Structure 1
């Protein structure tokens, strides 16, 4: 489905990011993966290559302009870029948004929002050469439904919804689609705090009509669809992958 295409997936050595990279690779895409920690990059690269996938990798902090530039250089070595998946995010504190310090707020905004904007902007010269240009942001259910433990993080993820709508409108005439995935509660290390006690987990499950926590692979399959030709007429959409939580008309 994605043969002869090149995909960049940020924060792609663990959890949802790794699952996305794996699925795109299984669909035939050549992969550029990255993470901030060298040991994680090395581990994930070996893991994906052992599965027969075409992978290039590097250490990358998405807030660093030179690091982002290297991502695109790696993509060029594969022949170009067709798919950008902006997945990197941080949440260094848990609590209400107005309890967040200015420095932490700046860090969350810088990684979760500004870096997604800059990655999309910097990817355009390559995406414009592709016949299948795709930009996919990874947001969160907390973009729609704030959680008291995820104040500033939820705000940053709401900002991605607006970025998606605006970028999609601008790029639609060029045939480049821009969409956003909003995962619900997915079983990852990143979301561990949300199920840190039996009571907290029970409360979470009462909000999920399907009655279970999601899997990273279930997010990855939605990304693969949006990256494919089957989704060529879909742009500007924010897709919830949440087991029915907050399903809306």
Structure 2
């Protein structure tokens, strides 16, 4: 009877743990690796939402119609150690919404597509070649870039290889992909990311 009671108690604890995990209660940083754009978020409810999302691990982009409001909100939240950036945007204005989208597409998509379109015909004339597109790890593993040393150290802790990669380590894989050793590799995504959580 005592053993049965112990098993029931253990089962109860295990079931509570499963319920907590499935509901997110036991998870730390449930929004890690996510980016949240919160409009009208420099005051009131919007600001509270931005703060909570950042506290839960997301990188948050706050926005407002006025630069001084954005600057104040960003300074406040960054002062709390949260990962936050800001942008001036009036969501009621189509041109502001379109400007944000166009900027992102110009850098990450359009420039690459136009360059590829320009070089491929010449490569075909020469009998072939390789197009290797290099992008930020953020394309695969959404995370804000960092500039301060403290942020860099925290990033190292979540990597399997506890250091930041070197340019030469990226250059090596590009050289391989351009070589005949990679002649049967095409359309692949190769992550040179030190074992970031997106891959392992």
Q: Report the TM-score, using the length of structure 1 for normalisation.
A: 0.40
How high is the TM-score relative to the length of structure 2? Answer: 0.49
